Amino acid sequence: MTESPLPTLNVLCSITGIWKVFSEDRCVYQPETIRVSEGGSVTIPCTYSSSKYEYETVKYSFSWGESSNTYCSNNKTIYIANETSTHNKYQGRLFRNSDGNSESLTIHGLRRTDGPVICCVIIQTRVRHAPYTWRNLYGTSLLFTDELWVDQLHAIPAILGENITIPCYIHYAPWTRMRVHQVIWRKAANCFALNHTDIHTMNISDSTNQQFPLVNYASDLSLRIHNIQKEDENFYCCIARTTQGTFSMKQGTELVIKDTVSTPGLKVTQPEYSMIHKGGSATINCSFNIPQDRHILYISVYWRVDSLQGMYAIHPSEDMIDPRYRGRTTLNGKVDLHISNVQSEDSTLYYCIVMLTLCAKPHIYKSVIEHGQGTRLTVSDLSNNLSESQTEINSVQTLHIILTIRLIVFGIIIVCGILGYRHVRKLIIS
């Protein structure tokens, strides 16, 4: 997974267009779910954005809470940063790390009674004003490895006109015999929105839908959409119905579509060419600028092969990565593509795609994407080069021997000529 929330960033561009829409609102971003093990540890990241029109006296701090239901509105406080106060239930088990507009909370010795939803809360204080708080609406759900859960990515990029897959996987408890009997894909702002469109409902026995086919009912409920258009941009929720209840994420996956128009203020740069010897490790650089005065909630980086609609060399979901690159590619410095054990077949174009998740309005995120112009990687075969070099060396050595022999023969001829001349001269004189 190639995704990571970032603290305040150094920026190089000015605000234009779309960025102004986002500049007035406050959001708190957390991952929707994290898989955990009883007795283990978990680190929950949290990033917030605030209005750019703030007084100098405004200060921010974090607190953390837990909730037993879907939302964080009535969470119970478990940690207050300014007071270093910890709830008795979590004494000695919490550790926080703060950096600018980003913070993380680590919980050690996880118990079944923890959470199950951990909520990040931002506290704004200003002289002679009452504290103002805002929080993530859904928090982060702690899902133990032996529980059934539905897994979706928070966002996925797409290029206009391509065929895409929105991953959704269902993980069953080891001992359960429960299975999905119906799958619903919902297009809406979130999975519980009253204003929604069920674009695809399918029973296990039904596999006739051609526009929105599923992949594999056993555990893979991923949705495929053909010929993506701009109006397809929205959140997509995967809902699994079983004999023991209905399971889904809260927010679903945001489908972010890149059309032919450049994203204002966001520019992705990568080199035109790169070269490496076969068997070595290649690193293809990628950099990007973002607008001024923006608190980015989340940054995701993807790399595609051959074309902008090609297979993935880097993707948060391992199953989405081209088998040729699986296990050989990683991100260096969170952006650059690193390929190990490079082969001749890796000689092709590589495209860097950057997705920024921003705050559209309270509790609502909006992502934008931009891509580079591609880097052509050339892989040279070192063994062939060495063989060619050796051949050249052998040719030079052979030529040198031939020239040497010719010089020796020429020298012998000259000596013989001189001796013969002297002998003939003596005969004439005598």
pLDDT at 8 over 60: no
Over residues 94-110, mean pLDDT: 90
What is the C-alpha to C-alpha distance for residues 347 and 339, in angstroms, rounded to an integer?
12
Q: How many residues does the chain have?
A: 430
Sign (positive or negative) of CA dihedral 336, 316, 353, 26 = negative
CB 355 within 8 A of CB 306: no
More confident residue, 122 or 361: 122
CB 313 within 8 A of CB 339: yes
CB 143 within 8 A of CB 36: yes
Residue type, 251: Q
3-state SS class at 176: coil
Bridge partners (DSSP) of residue 358 are 366
What is the C-alpha to C-alpha distance for residues 230 and 211, in angstroms, rounded to an integer?
16
pLDDT at 87 over 90: no
Place of tokens 């931009």: 370
3-state SS class at 279: coil
Both structure tokens of 416: 């013989």
Q: How many CB atoms neighbour CB 45 within 10 A? A: 19
Both structure tokens of 171: 């993980």
pLDDT tens profile 187-217: 887 777 767 778 877 776 544 455 555 544 4
Tell me, rounded to whole angstroms, the distance of Cα 241 from its chain centroid.
30
Over residues 307-317, mean pLDDT: 93
pLDDT at 383 over 90: no
**Residue 256: what pLDDT?**
94
**Residue 386: what pLDDT?**
47
- In which band, very low, low, confident or very high, does the pLDDT at 64 lie, cut at 50, 70 and 90? very high
Over residues 85-108, mean pLDDT: 89
Which of 379, 384, 301 minimizes the C-alpha distance to 340? Answer: 379
* pLDDT-wise least confident of 243-252, 342-351, 378-387, 397-406: 378-387
pLDDT above 70 as % of the chain = 82
Give kind and range of the element (H or E) at residue 324: none
Which of 181, 186, 178 minimizes the C-alpha distance to 149? Answer: 178
3-state SS class at 129: strand
Over residues 130-152, mean pLDDT: 87
**Residue 61: what pLDDT?**
83
CB 375 within 8 A of CB 274: yes
Residue type, 240: A
In angstroms, the Cα distances linking 3 to 31, 224, 314, 354 are 11, 22, 10, 10
**Residue 17: what pLDDT?**
37
In angstroms, the Cα distances linking 221 to 18, 214, 216, 224, 317 are 34, 6, 6, 10, 14
pLDDT tens profile 14-62: 333 333 333 346 889 999 999 999 999 999 999 988 765 555 567 888 8
- The DSSP output letter for 78 is E
pLDDT tens profile 278-302: 999 999 999 998 766 566 888 999 9
* pLDDT-wise least confident of 86-100, 233-247, 381-395: 381-395
Phi/psi at 118 (nearest 5 deg)? -105, 125
**Residue 396: what pLDDT?**
65
**Residue 301: what pLDDT?**
96
What is the C-alpha to C-alpha distance for residues 239 and 186, in angstroms, rounded to an integer?
8
3-state SS class at 38: coil
**Range with top average pLDDT, 64-68, 82-86, 269-273:** 269-273
Which of 109, 108, 114, 112 minimizes the C-alpha distance to 78? Answer: 114
3-state SS class at 273: strand
Give kind and range of the element (H or E) at residue 265: none
3-state SS class at 346: helix
pLDDT tens profile 152-194: 998 999 999 999 999 998 888 777 777 788 889 998 877 777 6
Which of 43, 45, 48 minimizes the C-alpha distance to 122? Answer: 48
What is the pLDDT of the chain when averaged over all its residues? 81
More confident residue, 383 or 237: 237
- β-pair type (140-144, 33-36): parallel
Both structure tokens of 99: 């950096």
pLDDT tens profile 21-30: 333 468 899 9
Over residues 218-234, mean pLDDT: 88
pLDDT at 76 over 90: no
What is the C-alpha to C-alpha distance for residues 203 and 215, in angstroms, rounded to an integer?
13
**Residue 336: what pLDDT?**
97
Does residue 218 come out as left (phi exceeding 0), alpha (psi in the -120 to 50 range) or beta? alpha
Does residue 92 come out as left (phi exceeding 0), alpha (psi in the -120 to 50 range) or beta? left
